[in-house]
Structure 1
Amino acid sequence: MTNKNKVISIIVICYTLIFINYVFVFKGEYNSETIFKIVFLVCAASITILSIYLLFIKKENNQIPKPSLNKEAPVVIPDKKKVFNSVKKIKSTGIKKVFGRPTSIYQSNKSKIDERKKRQEQAKIIYEEKELQRLIALEEITKKRAQQSKIKRVVKPIRSIKDNGVEPATKKTIACVEKKAVPKKTPALKKTIVKTKIKKRVNFSTLNIKTSTTKYPIIRKPNQNSIIRTFRFERNNRKGFKEEEFYGAIKRHFSKNFEVIDNAMLAIGTGTNPYEPDIAMVSKSDKNIYIDIEIDEPYAGVTRKLTHCYPEDVNRDNYFVDRGWFVIRFSEYQIHHQIKECLFQIAKVVSVIDANYKVGRLSAYKSLIKEPNWDTSKARFWESINYRESYLNHIFKPYKEPENIIDTALTAEEKAEERLVKPQAYIPIANKTKPKATVEKKIEVKPIRRPFVAPVKKVLDSNNSSVAKLIEMAVNKNYVIEMTYTNRSEETSTRKISQLKYTKEFMNKGYAYKDHFAGFCHNRLEDRSFKISRIEYMKILN
């Protein structure tokens, strides 16, 4: 019975009771006119009794009716698939979607399940780490056991007791003495060397490659079947100013066919500095192409030391060429102004060796301006006028050299390669006059002489040196100068001055001794004083 029916029945009961109380108790009347009221009263009484019965006596029975005793009720077995699908649906969608109402119990159970899964995963990770540590420790123990030599059992028969007057033993008694060999000492230094089981050689012809030794780019080539020396991945020297830029350009254009390396080193032996290519190129194909790329500067930017003066690098280049390496040298000026033309020169050498290699877009950059190599006098002059700083537009700042200690001792593999090296600078010739002699003469090939270059006449002007230095030189050596000078009234004129000397005329006004100089002006034909800071341009005439 619903709540609405219950309320209606209670209202009817109350109304009936009030009516009975009013008619029979208070008035006490019973007339024929009240028949309709009596009928209504009977109906109301019956409804009241029915409502009391429904409210208090009858109970709702929602249970499934029991089967009759005469017939046996069939046993209903639930379908497993339906049960499984319903449970799966509850797990996937939640009780809220299945039954239409939220349940906090399911949510709490889900959080507990998630926490349990997390704990299980953490425990699994910890177990795997412990297992890995155990396996590593086990591997170390097996290595230690392998290093130790096997236990040797030396069989020694015990002396018989015959010497003491007693009969010897019927069975030979044997004592086993265990001896453990001392484990071998492991080497202290491990050298990072490119190991090759088979010795590599120059497996191509180099006859068609043009070489040059007096002008940049300098190209040197090895002979066919020359042994190729292995290199190490180490570097001791500091990189040059343009090396990083050129290394990136080579890597962009040649990385498909070559390994481009900026930390290669060829060891020479103990007590000597190794040879380190600025940039090394090693072919990835079957052809064993090894190229040493060098960038030469006339002097060091910070220490001002003269470098790469001819023939300073000849012996170094011979070392690489004798050991199967190409040497290609560019000047820093060429790299700075014509970097793509320099890349074309490398591609040109590779294309002559390997017919499958295509130059591609670099073929449009063939016009590389050749530059003659320099000697010490030319390099010293360039250093005095800051030649590198002018074309690089860069000022070199001092730096601290890193202290990197490299083991330059030759390994067994490198020594074996050195035994197979045949220097190109010596040609063996058999001695026909003395057939008994087995020693072969070695004739040294003289280097090619450089062509005569007329000395460059030095121009001493303010473009190559400071005005103050030129004035001091003219004062000390009595030179005649020509200068472009601006006076106090801002009039500019070209003047010729001789008999220069410093003057103390303006020291009372706060100027230094060498801020002004005096001399005979050939324009005014009289002695005049000049302020050095007003000179725009000057040069020494004699």
Structure 2
Amino acid sequence: MICELKTQLLKYIAMLFIENNYLCKQTYQSFIMDTISVGINQTGNEQFVTWIIIAVVFIFIIILFLLKIIKERRNKVEGDGIIQSSSNVSKEKPIQISVPKPCLGNKLSEDSVQLSSQIKKSKEIVKSEIIPSANELKNNSRETSFSIVKEKDVNAPSIMSSMALELIAKEDYSKFSKPKYIGYNPINIFTQTEPLNYPYVIMPSKSGCVIKFPQKGRTGRKGYKEDDFLQYIRKYFKETFKIYDDRYVLTKKNRYEPDISLLNEKDGINIFLDIEIDEPYEGINDIKNRKPTHFRFADINRNNEFKNRGWIVIRFAEIQIHQNPDGCCRFIADVIKSIYPQFNIPLGLVVTKRIEPVLQWTKELALNWSAQNYREQYLGIGQFGYIPIIQETDFALIQDEEVEKEVVDDKPIALSEKNSISTLSQNIIDIAIRTNKYIVFQYEKDKTIVKPTKYKENAIAGYCYVKNMIRSFDISKMEDIHLKSRYYTLRLSASELGIQTVANMMNIIIPNHKYVRMEYTKPARSFVTMDPETNKLIQMQTKAETSIRTISDIQLDTEGWGENYIRAYCHKREEGRTFYFGRISLLEILDL
């Protein structure tokens, strides 16, 4: 019985050999006859040895068989992998992209094509369609010191393969599957009105504003101080933010490249920062041809497009970055803290010197500075050089249509309109009276903001929002006069306030030396006193009193009444007073 089982088993094993081409037919017959003979004659230990040999042979055959199967499957995957990948991508929803025209301007082609057709035609794209000419590079190059770099060749990027373009598009499109929204209340205590002082902050247009995600790619246009400041940004914010200097944001008609981007999506807070370094004119040596930049109103439309897509824009003057980069980082930290109280100011910035404000320049002033080499002087360089190199240009322009459907853009403002308004400032007081606006000025070394109502000879009369009363001013003593559309930059009513909200705001107001106008309630109070005539104790009671007060020189009163109190100069009482957060029912930051 055992011999029969052995014989059947060996026949099966031998058949496996033949099916897999490992033994020839003659070897099979010889192997069967010899084994049967051994099986009949062997006894005792010989049978045990025979079984061991059979088991080893059987295991060896199984291993060979498995290796063959694995090899066949591997060859099949290698042969069909690329085709299978392409077929999978083609099943994705077509993505519309825009092909840039042969220039580095912000305007995009209005005609868009499907990603699938773009992939098919990608090999046919002429290099000139995405690589600007050398002349165009000249005006969009990285600024650098002429003493460091004098000349470099233009290294044009190679055209992307269709497969690479497809994979990038597929990866980027995955971000756009579900729109994201800001998770904070964009209260901007840094709001200013024209004329602006650097640094200034533009917040998202509303709570729950949809976010436009950036995409990878940059044309290489870098300012002189960008790389230096990037190191400071990484030093202080790398633990809490993703930091990039090679991203762009695509709007309906424009493509913008933030100087530096900071992104935090933790816990749905979704803080997206666009950090800009503004220079008064281009960093090229040809004085006759270099243009003024970032003058008043020049960036208003760009700022609006970012704020309507969930971004916070923070703009510094280049001279501030050059002279006090740590202070600029502290300002960024203050902005983050104002909307995200859980954020901890980096230890290295706690005692950092604050940056001094810089008045935004006019176009005329920028031209004068250019003629005087003003930038070169404060940067400490003889002249600018340039590196005409395009970096990171292998990218597809992918529009996130779902986000753009939710975006409500402001009406574009023509620069000529803004300039025409600003040139009417020859008689600011008269304009303010006729248009029901406000004026801010220095008066006997004190800042004030007034709504003028009368203008007679050498004096004006109007309501002063610092003293909160009608006042008269001698025009000869008024300095640095500016027109304002309103007297405050931020107003919070009682329903928006609370002890914690006021405390968070004071942490930003105090270091930035803001003037606060508030409605303050002095509560009703009962007390016992002695009647001087009868020497009897009598109970007295005062009524609750609500008044409007403007305060400045504000400090936390942690060593006195406690952390929910401030000590400040009261312009109503003209003396230092203590105020409790819980009694503030209206809070305005004056636009001074």
TM-score in terms of structure 1 length: 0.45
More relative contact order in 1 or in 2 (CA 8 Å, sep 6+)?
2
Q: Compare CA radii of gyration and give the structure with the larger one.
A: 1
- Structure in which a larger fraction of residues adopt strand: 2
User: Normalising by the residue count of structure 2, what TM-score does the alignment of the two structures yield?
Assistant: 0.41
